[in-house]
Structure 1
């Protein structure tokens, strides 16, 4: 479980996050949604320690992450898998080398064990046999799947995904969503996804946190969202024809 309490973050005079509270539970896919500039990605980076909030606390299974030193954060970081928006693969490394990178940093596995683990992760994301390809030889959806394979290489207890469907066609987006949901259930991980994709919201969102202008405006399930009487939430959600149709069918 991850709990955040009263998270505030500013960049110069721009107060990006304003007292955000939330609880993300294990075995569930939790989504952070909101318009551009609402603070979604900044909140994610505060949770994983890429940004330091001015105030507030982040707890990983009741351990206060925000007060730990860099060295004391390492055991928790070993349990974190991260899929970045652009996949963040190393262009000069093969698919296999990209996956093994984390294992090189954080484990004492032999080279054979690392390759076995990379093979397992590639099979898990339906990319078996692509070990020696370079990122430039992959499609956008394949890069995302390699990013997921790298993220799960350490058997993560916590899985974070920043706009996993960005730049993907609808069919590939659905495949990525289904994979994230399957892995969450398989590892019983606490999964947090930043997205603006309403198909993802309705498809895999078990808990949804809606941010507006840096504030927490609403939280609940996807079904609760369709019934919510909050103008800012409705303006965001029902801008999509798909979502307007879903609401009208209730």
Structure 2
């Protein structure tokens, strides 16, 4: 479980997060949603230590990440898997080398043990045998799956995913959502997904935080969204549906 308490973050005069609190549960797809500029990616970066909150706490299973020194934070980071929006693969490395990268950094496993783990992760994301390919040889969906394989290579307790469906066609986006959902359930991971994709929200949104102008405006499940009377959330939901419908007609 991850708990955030009263998270504030500003950049110069831009006050991005204005006291966000919430709980992200084990074995559950926890989604952070909101429009552009709502603060959702900034919140995710505060949670993994890429940004330092101006105020507030990020607590991993009772351990206050914000009060830790560098060495203590490294131990938490070993338990975190991260899939960035653009997959963030190293272009000069093969698929195998990309997935092995965190194992090289954080473990003392033998080469054979690391390769076994790489092959397991590739098989788990349905890319068995693609070890020697380079990112330039992969489709967008394959890059996302390699990113997921790398994110789970350290057998994380916590998985953070930033806009997993960005740049993907609808069919591939659904496959990525299904894969994230399967991995979360199979390994009982605390998964936190930042997205603006309503298909993802309705498909895998077991627990959702909706941000609006730096505030937590609503919290609930995808089953509760249709019955909310929150105006900002309704505007976001129906605007998203309208935008997707317009795209489908092109």
Q: TM-score, normalised by structure 1?
A: 0.96
Q: After the TM superposition, which segments of 4 or more aligned residues of structure 1 sit over 4 Å from their partners?
A: 242-245
2:248 matched residue in structure 1:
none
1:75 matched residue in structure 2:
75
2:5 matched residue in structure 1:
5
Q: Structure 2 matches for 1:1-250, cutoff 5 A?
A: 1-241=1-241
- Bigger Cα displacement from structure 2, 200-209 vs 231-240: 231-240
Which segments of 5 or more consecutive residues in structure 1 lack a partner in the other structure? 246-250
Which segments of 5 or more consecutive residues in structure 2 lack a partner in the other structure? 246-250
Task: Give CA deviations for 1:73-96 in whole Å, capped at 9, x if unaligned.
Answer: 111110100000000000000000
Distance in 2, matches of 1:244 and 1:139, equals: 22
1:248 matched residue in structure 2:
none
Distance change >3 Å, CA 56–CA 17, structure 1 → 2: same
Contact 2:9–2:15 (CA under 8 A) maintained in structure 1: yes
Contact 1:237–1:243 (CA under 8 A) maintained in structure 2: no
Task: Give CA deviations for 1:92-136 in whole Å, capped at 9, x if unaligned.
Answer: 000000000000001111001111110000000000000000000
Contact 1:81–1:158 (CA under 8 A) maintained in structure 2: yes
Measured after TM superposition, the shift of residue 242 of structure 1 is: 7.2
Measured after TM superposition, the shift of residue 241 of structure 1 is: 3.6
Contact 1:3–1:58 (CA under 8 A) maintained in structure 2: yes
Measured after TM superposition, the shift of residue 240 of structure 1 is: 3.4
Distance in 2, matches of 1:25 and 1:243, equals: 31
Measured after TM superposition, the shift of residue 244 of structure 1 is: 11
Contact 2:198–2:241 (CA under 8 A) maintained in structure 1: no
Contact 1:30–1:207 (CA under 8 A) maintained in structure 2: yes
Distance in 2, matches of 1:171 and 1:103, equals: 32
Contact 2:41–2:194 (CA under 8 A) maintained in structure 1: yes
RMSD over aligned CA atoms reads: 1.3
Measured after TM superposition, the shift of residue 70 of structure 1 is: 1.0
How many equivalent pairs are there?
245
Distance in 2, matches of 1:241 and 1:70, equals: 43
Q: TM-score, normalised by structure 2?
A: 0.96
Distance in 1, matches of 2:66 and 2:6, equals: 12
